[in-house]
């Protein structure tokens, strides 16, 4: 079979590669999750970020419950081919806690993790049981 762009990605022994999602406008790093080959292909074909959940062991569309999809603007990969960078338009917030970014805790000068930013939404309302 002819090699394509996806064959150049080096998936690890579990078939996964870490993917960074970055806001295409502000440059804010929103989250890191893992993609398998299928998730990478789906991300390109649908232009919406898909991942592979290691805990649930299945493919998922980011935003499938919350509606907070990530509309893909570009896909890059790194020199070693073992990490992916997706620039995207984030609808709503990336983080299931309600923050825009999953990286909402910064180490302060007292060596404590400090929450920054404001919650955009109430997770209990968005992720209905």
- Contact residues toward a copy of itself (CB under 8 A) are 4-5, 8, 18, 20, 22, 26-29, 31-32, 44, 74-80, 83, 85, 95-97, 99, 102-107, 111-113
Q: How far is the CB of 43 from a copy of itself (least distance, A)?
A: 10
Question: 69 or 99: whose CB is closer to a copy of itself?
Answer: 99
CB 21 within 8 A of CB 34: no
> In angstroms, what is the minimal distance from the CB of 54 to a copy of itself?
10
Least distance in angstroms from the C-beta of 23 to a copy of itself: 9
Nearest to 24 by CA among 71, 60, 81: 71
Distance (Å, whole) CA 125 – CA 129: 9
Q: Which is nearer to a copy of itself, 17 or 69 (CB)?
A: 17
Cβ closer to a copy of itself: 69 or 95? 95
**Which lies closer to a copy of itself via its Cβ, residue 69 or residue 104?**
104
User: What residue spans of 8-114 are helical by DSSP H?
Assistant: 37-46
- Element counts in the chain: helices (H) and strands (E): 2, 8
Q: How far is the CB of 35 from a copy of itself (least distance, A)?
A: 13
| SS3 state at 43 | helix
Spatial CB neighbours of 82, under 8 Å, sequence gap ≥ 6: 9, 10, 11, 12, 17, 18
């Amino acid at each position: 079979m002819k090699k394509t762009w996806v064959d150049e990605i080096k998936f690890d022994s579990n078939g996964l590669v870490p993917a960074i999602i970055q806001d295409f406008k502000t440059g804010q790093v929103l989250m890191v999750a893992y993609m398998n080959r299928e998730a990478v292909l789906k991300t390109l074909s649908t232009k919406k970020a898909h991942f592979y959940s290691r805990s649930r062991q299945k493919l998922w569309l980011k935003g499938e419950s919350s509606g907070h999809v990530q509309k893909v603007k570009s896909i890059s990969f790194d020199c070693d081919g073992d990490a992916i960078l997706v620039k995207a338009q984030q609808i709503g917030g990336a983080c299931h806690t309600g923050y825009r970014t999953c990286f909402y805790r910064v180490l302060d000068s007292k060596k404590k993790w400090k929450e920054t930013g404001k919650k955009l939404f109430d997770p209990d309302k968005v992720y209905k049981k």
